[in-house]
């Protein structure tokens, strides 16, 4: 008896909690409204199932609880009913899956005009690299990483000379422009996560991963690491500043290129032989 009431009450409490709790989507700041919509569709279908199944459970417990002289009905199976239930479950599943897969198709299809920016993770800080005037990121390799060349840019790659290196964990992006974020890690797994952008992807040492998004409003948003990366995981923070194209340009102009930084720190750049260059596997994105 009490359990029937408790199940029904828990359903009501869950509904009330959903409406009254102050916690739902963090205000979105990117084009990924389709992800939020897919989540909402999933929520409505699942909520309907949750409410219907549990209220049926509560009613059954109340109606068929043991009383003196009561005996259970004997019915081993009912194939028609089982087939109908299977069919309608399939319909519900398809209804959720369709918007989910459509949004995923957008997620993995990067627009051709997306600007390229690289985010680099290491324990426990973020760094960023822009491709510079030639629009191409220079190749990188872990073996090039030194205190002076923390991004591991290949010193003999001409494409890398004009790359703009941002060693502080503050990334600026122009509003309304699609951007492809190339993700690279120097040590362990990290995950580039801006709650307001929805998009998220692991940084994996040894390979290059990516996500794309279009910032839709200006503002300052937090970057967090969403893949456990050691004792400093919770402190691996950064910020992304979404600004107008003009503000973005003037910020970018203040940053230093690889060539400028290399000239300032190492008067005589290391010369690699051709064989050494050939032996290195380029990991940058061309």
Partner 1 sequence: MATVTLADDLKPLHHPKTFIGKYVWSQDHKVIAIQYSLTAIGIGVVALVLSALMRLQLGFPDTFHFIQPENYLQYVTMHGMIMVVYLLTALLLGGFGNYLIPLMVGARDMVFPFVNMLSYWVYLLAVLVLVAGFFVPGGPSGAGWTLYPPQAILEGTPGHHWGIITMLVSLALFIVGFTMGGLNYVVTVLQARAKGMTLMRMPCSVWGIFVASIMALLAFPALFVASVMMLLDRVAGTSFFMPAIVSMGQQLGYQGGSPILFQHLFWFFGHPEVYIVALPAFGIVSDLIAVHARKNIFGYRMMVWAIVIIGALSFFVWAHHMYVSGMNPYFGFFFATSTLIIAIPTAIKVYNWLLTLYRGDIHLRVPMLFAIAFLFTFIHGGLTGLFLGNVSVDVPLSDTFFVVGHFHMVMGVSPILVIFGAIYHWYPKITGRMWNETLGKIHFWITFLGVYAVYLPMHYLGVLGVPRRYYALGETAFIPPSAHIANEVITVAALIVFAAQMLFFYNMIVSLFQGPKADPNPWGATTLEWQTPDTPPRHGNWGPKLPVVYRWAYDYSVPGAPRDFIPQNEPPSDGVRHHPT
Contacts of 248 (CB under 8 A, 6+ apart): 172, 173, 174
Q: How far is the CB of 173 from partner 1 (least distance, A)?
A: 17
Q: How far is the CB of 236 from partner 1 (least distance, A)?
A: 10
Give 215's DSSP letter: B
- Give the residue among 145, 173, 140 at the shortest CA–CA distance from 159: 140
Q: How far apart are CA 59 and CA 154, in angstroms?
A: 69
Nearer to partner 1, 71 or 246 (CB): 71
How does strand 238-243 pair with strand 219-225?
A: antiparallel
Q: How far is the CB of 175 from partner 1 (least distance, A)?
A: 19
Q: For residue 83, count CB atoms less than 10 angstroms from its CB and return exposed for 0-12, middle for 13-18, buried for 19 or more.
A: exposed
Nearer to partner 1, 187 or 252 (CB): 187
Token digits for 52? 């219907």
Nearer to partner 1, 129 or 198 (CB): 198
Nearer to partner 1, 264 or 279 (CB): 279
Nearer to partner 1, 21 or 271 (CB): 21
Q: How far apart are the first and last CA of the chain?
A: 68
Task: Give the orientation angle of helix 79-108 with respect to helix 33-63, to 10 degrees.
Answer: 160
Q: How far is the CB of 15 from partner 1 (least distance, A)?
A: 11
Q: How far is the CB of 156 from partner 1 (least distance, A)?
A: 18
């Amino acid at each position: 008896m009490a359990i029937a009431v408790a199940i029904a009450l828990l359903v009501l409490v869950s509904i009330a909690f959903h409406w009254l709790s102050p916690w739902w989507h963090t205000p979105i700041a990117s084009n990924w409204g389709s992800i939020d919509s897919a989540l909402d569709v999933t929520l409505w279908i699942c909520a309907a199932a949750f409410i219907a199944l549990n209220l049926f459970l509560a009613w059954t417990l109340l109606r068929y609880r043991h009383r003196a002289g009561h005996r259970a009905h004997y019915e081993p199976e009912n194939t028609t009913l089982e087939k109908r239930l299977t069919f309608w479950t399939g319909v519900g599943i398809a209804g959720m899956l369709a918007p989910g897969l459509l949004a995923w198709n957008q997620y993995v299809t990067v627009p051709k005009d997306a600007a390229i920016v690289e985010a680099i993770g290491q324990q426990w800080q973020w760094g960023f690299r822009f491709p510079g005037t030639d629009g191409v990121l220079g190749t990188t390799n872990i073996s090039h990483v030194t205190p002076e060349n923390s991004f591991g840019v290949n010193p003999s790659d001409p494409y890398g000379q004009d790359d703009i290196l941002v060693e502080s964990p503050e990334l600026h992006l122009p509003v309304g422009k699609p951007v492809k974020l190339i993700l690279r890690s120097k040590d362990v797994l990290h995950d580039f996560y801006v709650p307001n952008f929805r998009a998220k992807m692991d940084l994996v040492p040894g390979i290059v991963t990516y996500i794309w998004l279009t910032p839709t409003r200006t503002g300052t948003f937090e970057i967090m690491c969403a893949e456990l990366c050691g004792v400093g995981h919770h402190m691996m923070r950064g910020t992304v500043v979404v600004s107008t194209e003009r503000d973005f340009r003037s910020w970018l102009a203040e940053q230093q290129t690889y060539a400028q930084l290399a000239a300032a720190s190492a008067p005589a750049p290391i010369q690699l032989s051709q064989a050494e260059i050939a032996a290195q596997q380029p990991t940058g994105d061309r």
